[in-house]
Amino acid sequence: MEPKEPLNFVCKDGHVMVYDAATVLRLRRDYRIVGALEGSHPTNPQQNNYYGLPLILLPEEVALLSSDPSTGLDQQPRSTHEQARFDLYMDLHKRGFYITRGIKFGADYMLYPGEPMR
């Protein structure tokens, strides 16, 4: 089995971002991590219906990735509130859900039983 290419992350101002499309695909395929695309779309930067790279990861997603030493990340919850959010996130993730931000609907998370982009 060939070794996998390393995951490429950029850590800035307390946020973890992904600018590499191959890493985004691996996060979805191998870890069921969705994140949130925040960049403007290169072919139509004035619209705001579809976003592009970078992908911003939730703190809970970063903590999940930190449990795998091969990712090179080391960020754990720092407060009891963050730990409670992470525990909930991990419980939902272990149940097989894809988890995204729920702010659009006034919730902490949106749960999908399968890949949300299908």
Residue 49: CB partners within 8 Å, gap ≥ 6?
none
pLDDT score, position 85: 97
Q: Give the model confidence (pLDDT) of 45-97 as tens digits.
A: 787 778 889 999 999 999 999 999 989 999 999 999 999 999 999 999 999 99
Q: Which residue matches tokens 């960020």?
A: 75
**Alpha carbon distance 76, 59 (integer Å):** 8
Q: Of 63, 87, 58, 85, which is closest to residue 73 (Cα–Cα)?
A: 63
Tokens of 61: 């997603």
pTM of the model: 0.90
Tokens of 17: 């971002």
What beta strand segments (E) does 1-118 contain? Answer: 10-12, 15-18, 36-39, 52-57, 98-101, 109-112
Q: Which residue matches tokens 């919850």?
A: 77
Q: Give the model confidence (pLDDT) of 2-39 as tens digits.
A: 567 889 999 999 899 999 999 999 999 999 999 999 98
